[in-house]
Amino acid sequence: MPAQHPTAPPVRDPAGFAVFYEQQFDAVLGFVTRRVDSPHLAADLTADIFVAALENAHTYDARRGAPVAWLYGISRNVISAHFRGCTRELHAVARITGRRLLDDEDISAIEGRIDAARAARRMAAAHAALSDPLREVLDLVVLDGLTTREAAQALGISSASARVRLHRARKALRTTGQTRTDSREAVLEATQ
């Protein structure tokens, strides 16, 4: 489960943002490695997420939830944009840039994280038959450990809508018998 950090992203303070980056890096990289299987792509997307967070630090509102929920919303958007294939040039530049910055030790560490998250990716693939809105809430709550309210914030929907979507997703998975999603503990058992 990603650590919840109380520090908000500082606006116009590069030194303060560096502290925020250090606090949130593991949570964001974990979010990414649960969704991709390439260490280079994971490194690129994680960097892109923090660039977007720095550029959008002024949009963070502590009243709407924890910084990690805000970052997961940004992460979701960055990853979705990547998979929609922004442009061929951007995709090629991102891959090349990431490969130049990674040494063998970095690649081994990210590959280790990807291997550790492989079971979680298999579980996510098992519920691929769910509609996107249901799957997004389920992922944020069950895989990423957000509360329903934080998931609602990350998705830009009401808490009531998030609860309904989560209930429907769990019901659909129970009905099809694809996986147990009754509790976070069941998911953690399955990923070990």
pLDDT digits (tens, 9 = 90+) for 102-126: 778 888 888 888 888 876 676 556 5
Q: In this structure, are residues 26 and 85 in contact, taking their beta carbons and an 8 Å threshold?
A: no
CA distance 141 to 75: 15
CA distance 167 to 138: 9
Split at pLDDT 50, 70, 90, the class of 191 is very low
**Has residue 158 got a pLDDT over 70?**
yes
CATH architecture of 118-192: Orthogonal Bundle (1.10)
* Domain assignments of the chain as residue spans, ordered by start: 8-116, 118-192
* Alpha-carbon distances of 103 from 18, 38, 50, 93, 110, rounded to whole Å: 22, 14, 21, 18, 11
Domains 8-116 and 118-192 share a fold: no
pTM of the model: 0.58
Q: Does domain 8-116 have CATH number 1.10.1740.10?
A: yes
Give 3's contacts (C-beta < 8 A, 6+ positions apart): 23, 26, 27, 68
